[in-house]
Amino acid sequence: MDLIDQLNALATRIRVTKDLIQTEEATKNAMVMPFIQILGYNVFDPTEVTPELIADVGTKKGEKVDYAILRDGNPIMLFECKRCGGDLHINHASQLFRYFHVTESRFGVLTNGLKYRFFTDLEQPNKMDNTPFFEFDILDFKERDVEELKKFAKSSFDIDTILNTASDLKYTRAIQERLNEWVANPPEEFVRLLSTDLLGGRRFTPTLKDQFTQITKRAFEQLLSERINVRLKGAMAAEVPTASEHSAPIIPHPADDAEVETSAEEIEGLHIVRSILRDVVSPRRIVMRDNLSYCAILLDDNNRKPVCRLRFNNTQKLAVGIFGPDKAEERFSLEEIDDLYSFADRLRATVSMHLPIEE
């Protein structure tokens, strides 16, 4: 099983059990140890993964780090764990800071079982940075995140390879966070820069500032949506499925209506449904047909095999329609798109209803 398949399987299990896990110890056993195991390290071999590794740090005796991954008897990666969903502020990583300083390890990981923040010493040698250079979210990861995570796997672990890209990753992540803030709330300096040439010499008054702030936000949102649609169209044209894959397109496509435009929220919903159904059918068989009033999610691009309908046109009132044995649609309100995961069992049952017994 590929790394991404193992991570998806762990993510599915965690979504079901995370609300039951209340302690740090339970988080280690149910979440962190399986994650380390997926990376190829034997969590039951203390010469490879040592729990509560002890070291003396200055006047502090018996300092412990939750897990140390060893190679040739030396720590190469340190894990400090908090309870599931616990705060991962850098102020809560004091033991990781101290232990990082007195060992040969170049990588420290702060985790709550859901998010894994990877640190190194880019700013000062042998002193762990305050900000991570890479973050992996087990419940929300992309293929590029998995590619970065692979570098920490036992089979491919190489310090120089990771450090060569760590700086770029760190600053790319920082710039992405800044841009994300600007999309939601463009700063005045940025709005002024964009609008200066458009005002024809007019003074940048508070009224114009408010007007162009809203215009900038809309422009950002439309630009992102258009870029996503362009990528989807290119991918759809490039990928032609074979008969063995049930002739189902991989990428969602709109119905024959010039006014239909697939939104980023609808695409995210499709990916979540595919993730839920991955252990039932190939994701390639789950297809979206976008309409003016809803997005139909179908098995094998067949209207007679409906899975659900994403009713996301009103982003303030999200809903999903799920089909039962009688092919009738039952609608459910969603607070956010991730709430689709709470209907995982219903969606799997619907798809299974469309499958022949031999599958």
pLDDT attached to residue 69: 93
pLDDT attached to residue 79: 93
Domain boundaries, the chain: 3-172, 185-222, 264-354
H/E stretch holding 210 reads helix 206-238
pLDDT attached to residue 284: 85
Give me the phi and psi of 45, to 5 degrees please. -110, 105
329 in Cβ contact with 309 (< 8 Å)? yes
Range 177-203 burial, b when 16+ CB lie within 10 A, else e: eeeeeeeeebeeeebbeebeeeeeeee
CATH topology of domain 264-354: Outer Surface Protein A; domain 3 (3.90.930)
Lateral strand order in the sheet of 295-299: 253-254, 286-290, 295-299, 306-311, 318-323, 329-334
pLDDT attached to residue 106: 87
Tell me the β-bridge partners of 310: 295, 320
pLDDT attached to residue 116: 95
151 in Cβ contact with 107 (< 8 Å)? no
Residue 13: Cβ-neighbour burial (10 angstroms; 0-12, 13-18, 19+)? middle
pLDDT attached to residue 347: 94
Token representation of residue 55: 């070291």
CA distance 359 to 351: 11
CA distance 179 to 170: 14
CA distance 303 to 207: 50
pLDDT tens for the chain, residues 1 to 359: 688 889 989 999 999 898 899 899 999 999 999 999 999 999 999 999 999 877 655 555 666 788 999 998 888 999 999 999 888 887 767 777 777 777 778 899 999 999 999 998 888 877 888 888 899 999 988 888 898 999 999 998 988 888 888 877 877 877 878 888 887 888 888 888 888 878 777 888 888 888 888 888 888 777 777 766 665 555 445 444 443 443 444 445 555 554 667 787 888 889 899 989 988 888 888 998 888 788 999 998 888 899 999 998 776 688 999 988 877 889 999 988 889 999 999 999 999 888 876 54
Tell me the β-bridge partners of 295: 290, 310
pLDDT attached to residue 358: 53
pLDDT attached to residue 244: 41
90 in Cβ contact with 131 (< 8 Å)? yes
Judge if 3-172 and 264-354 fold alike in CATH terms: no
What CATH number belongs to 3-172? 3.90.1570.30
Give me the phi and psi of 303, to 5 degrees please. -60, -20
pLDDT attached to residue 74: 87
**Residues in the chain, total:** 359
